[in-house]
Chain A
């Protein structure tokens, strides 16, 4: 039995912030009312005055690296990192070794997650067998086993006909196709965004069109097939513009971007900082502005972390040899709070939309809501705490955060999932 006192409850659906106490009994929210009084020796009281309470977050794009790359991260360590960031449902991408491209692999991940993860781990199945971009995987069987979407993330399905078939086929099983948009002929050999900084550093660049030409292609295919296309980690102004148009046309498309694309630019790479090597690459100020505008308008539906852990030894190499990716769970909320609420004056309820409501809609899950009789899935946020991202504080097995050394505002202080306290006073309890 948990009583959260004096909470500022942020409800994304009616965009209100309600001041009240929340009583949690077992796995449910029993009561929401001002000044709840309870006499019970087992009652745990959490004081949440000056704090926000949000429905817990869902991430539709992360990499847990198990099986195959457990030295980077595993289902447990990734889940704990997610908890630290306020996520209680996470969807892991299939680029493991072996990849999640068949029913047995989906079952394996689901089983392992039930065993070791305190939160909900939902696998995303591969679009193509072996992520090879050649043959469709057994999407229906994987759906039965619990996948929530399909994606060849990390790779682009370069064959347009196969992508078209994937969209059509996924319709039968009512799941979105998550597209990693990258024309690999255009991006080949590229190490960062093609532009001013790549010219000064002498690094081979990835033109922004490597992303937007595939965005355009996939939007046209989604228009024709009427399938649900979800474009992940959108990073350029042109991609946003294309998606905006497509939505106006009525294409069944949703999209996400990641915290680093709305906060950082290609300049992070200066000094050959391998933690700033991500795919798609960090872009320019103009792109950051376009993405933020698109979030404001609702063109960008949600935020995904693209949590991509890598071992320190893999990142401590020549820039060309470093793998792409940054971890993202633990900084996601604070980055969004800092860059959207604090710096841009967005409404606080926008974050519920981006992190709690819309990600779940996209993969057809019921929303987490802070309402009586709902499952008690919530996070408590201290909006005023300022902190610096430091390696030693990171929960993930990997420390490759592009935000290392950056100062952020707001902090995920407590996490409750199905009535269980997973994090409290900043400490992981699971």
Chain B
């Protein structure tokens, strides 16, 4: 595997390879030293055009635990502000002997564009509304760990499906394992033809009833200004995982969220504290999954 750009074009076998390796990586994470030499001598650059402390830290730790040299470039300090094009940035990274680039970009396809124009490995840390493959992989890892399987599950994805790269990556990934996906959210936040990829529930109750997994998405509050939602309060009442809706969720249903959470908008604090809510575990598993991805992208023989 040279690049990880998305789950849409990854096979089931490739996904399983990452998840199985992540299991081993998690053991390393639990050890006292948290060190492996797998990435020693490798130069890993994190290029973030959008702020994301979580994802960036997770990738950075993953690379560091494996002995890589890491550099983090965020948009505020980068030359993008001076009008440097992405292609110029790629040339520079090339000259700086980058081995792996981890990129977060607000435009869909930006990591694909880089991959077409560089010799190093590219890992997509989220591109526009397109994909966030490592997030979906860590979700799948968490599901498999908790439920003991990754097949024939009923999964609900709730919230802003339209803008969510997490939703897209999860749909592409989970569907490869024969899982049944149901989505629900305000009509303004559902993309066209989503019914070709998933069931569309007609109510939140219907969406969460009899599910093995409920993935709740983060809502961007600026959508309010763009006329897509009206208010936080209204969102919580009709589309949030609030106390009223919790009645419909089984105690065995995993409740997941990619974080960071808008408490009291997408989900209530009380629900977040329940044992079937996996938000914190997902964070830990994220490091293990990213270690596995970094490992696979740097193995020349596997490329």
Asked whether A319 is an interface residue with its Cβ less than 8 Å from the other chain, the reply is yes
Asked whether A13 is an interface residue with its Cβ less than 8 Å from the other chain, the reply is no
Q: Which of B106-114, B241-249, B268-276 contacts A (4 or more CB under 8 A)?
A: B106-114
Task: List A residues 244-294 near B (Cβ within 8 Å).
Answer: 271-272
B192: A residues at CB distance < 8 A: 194-196, 198-199, 205
Count the A-B residue pairs with Cβ separation under 8 angstroms: how many?
63
B197: A residues at CB distance < 8 A: 199-200
Is the pair B165, A202 in contact by a Cβ cutoff of 8 Å?
A: yes
Is the pair A318, B113 in contact by a Cβ cutoff of 8 Å?
A: yes
A318: B residues at CB distance < 8 A: 86, 105, 107, 109-110, 113
Kindly provide the distance from the CB of B4 to the nearest chain A CB, expressed in whole angstroms. 16
A194: B residues at CB distance < 8 A: 192
Asked whether B21 is an interface residue with its Cβ less than 8 Å from the other chain, the reply is no
Is the pair B108, A320 in contact by a Cβ cutoff of 8 Å?
A: yes
Is the pair B130, A201 in contact by a Cβ cutoff of 8 Å?
A: yes
Kindly provide the distance from the CB of B113 to the nearest chain A CB, expressed in whole angstroms. 5
Asked whether A321 is an interface residue with its Cβ less than 8 Å from the other chain, the reply is yes
Is the pair B87, A317 in contact by a Cβ cutoff of 8 Å?
A: yes
Tell me which of B85, B108, B194 has the highest count of chain A C-beta atoms within 10 A of its own C-beta: B108
Q: Which residue of B lies closest to A321 (CB)?
A: B107
Tell me which of A203, A318, A319 has the highest count of chain B C-beta atoms within 10 A of its own C-beta: A318
Asked whether B129 is an interface residue with its Cβ less than 8 Å from the other chain, the reply is yes
A204 and B193 in contact, given A272-B112, A320-B107 (Cβ under 8 angstroms): no
A321: B residues at CB distance < 8 A: 107
Asked whether A316 is an interface residue with its Cβ less than 8 Å from the other chain, the reply is yes
Is the pair A199, B108 in contact by a Cβ cutoff of 8 Å?
A: no
B131: A residues at CB distance < 8 A: 202
Kindly provide the distance from the CB of B109 to the nearest chain A CB, expressed in whole angstroms. 4
Which of these, A195, A199, A202, A316, contacts B128 with CB under 8 Å? A202
B130: A residues at CB distance < 8 A: 201-203
Which of these, B86, B108, B193, B196, contacts A202 with CB under 8 Å? B108
Is the pair B165, A319 in contact by a Cβ cutoff of 8 Å?
A: no
Asked whether B266 is an interface residue with its Cβ less than 8 Å from the other chain, the reply is no
Tell me which of A194, A204, A271 has the highest count of chain B C-beta atoms within 10 A of its own C-beta: A204
Categorize the interface residue count of chain B.
20 to 34
What 1/0 mask marks residues of chain B from 117 to 151 whose CB sits below 8 Å from any chain A CB? Answer: 10000000001111100000000000000000000
Which of these, A199, A316, A319, contacts B109 with CB under 8 Å? A319
B112: A residues at CB distance < 8 A: 271-272
Which of these, A199, A203, A316, A320, contacts B193 with CB under 8 Å? A199
Asked whether B8 is an interface residue with its Cβ less than 8 Å from the other chain, the reply is yes
Is the pair B128, A196 in contact by a Cβ cutoff of 8 Å?
A: no
A202: B residues at CB distance < 8 A: 108, 127-131, 165, 168
A195: B residues at CB distance < 8 A: 192-193
Is the pair A196, B196 in contact by a Cβ cutoff of 8 Å?
A: yes
Interface residues in chain A, defined as those with a beta carbon under 8 Å from any beta carbon in chain B: 191, 194-196, 198-205, 271-272, 313, 316-321
Given A196-B193, A272-B108, A317-B113, output 20 extra A-B contacts at Cβ < 8 Å.
A195-B193, A199-B192, A199-B193, A199-B194, A199-B197, A200-B197, A201-B108, A202-B128, A202-B130, A203-B108, A205-B191, A271-B112, A272-B109, A272-B112, A313-B87, A317-B85, A317-B87, A319-B107, A319-B113, A320-B109
Enumerate 9 A-B pairs (CB-CB under 8 Å) in ascending A order. A196-B193, A199-B192, A271-B112, A272-B108, A272-B109, A272-B113, A316-B117, A317-B87, A318-B109
Interface residues in chain B, defined as those with a beta carbon under 8 Å from any beta carbon in chain A: 8, 85-87, 105, 107-110, 112-113, 117, 127-131, 165, 168, 191-194, 196-197
